[in-house]
Amino acid sequence: MGAKSTPSAAILLGMSSGVSVDEFQALEQKVLRAVEIVKREREARAAAEAEVATLREQLAAQSAELQRQVEAAKGRVEAVESEKETAEHQIEALNHERDVVRQRVERLLQQMDELL
């Protein structure tokens, strides 16, 4: 099968006569493939961890921005509620003033009717 002997194969074959060069080379190829797979998986894991870190940073930034927007909205709501209360008090005061003016006009009309 065109087996070529590597230094590690020669050492191992010298120690164990029950393994052929082809079997050893097949095993060596499997180990090298396994090493490459582990290397790729580690690189993929490192890339995934870096992406997770980036996404966490983005999430934290977005969360902070949303919190700022919520606080700003709360401030606007408080301002609108304050304006609403002020307007309600003004309406109450104007309604009271209108009732007072109406009573005065009615008294004046009664006095005019009495004069006529």
Residue bearing tokens 């909205």: 73
Average pLDDT, the chain: 89
- Residue-wise pLDDT for 4-30, tens only, equals 555 555 555 555 557 899 999 999 999
Q: Is 4 left (phi over 0), alpha (psi -120 to 50) or beta?
A: beta
Res 16: pLDDT? 52
Ramachandran sector of residue 2 (left: φ over 0; alpha: ψ -120 to 50; beta: rest): left
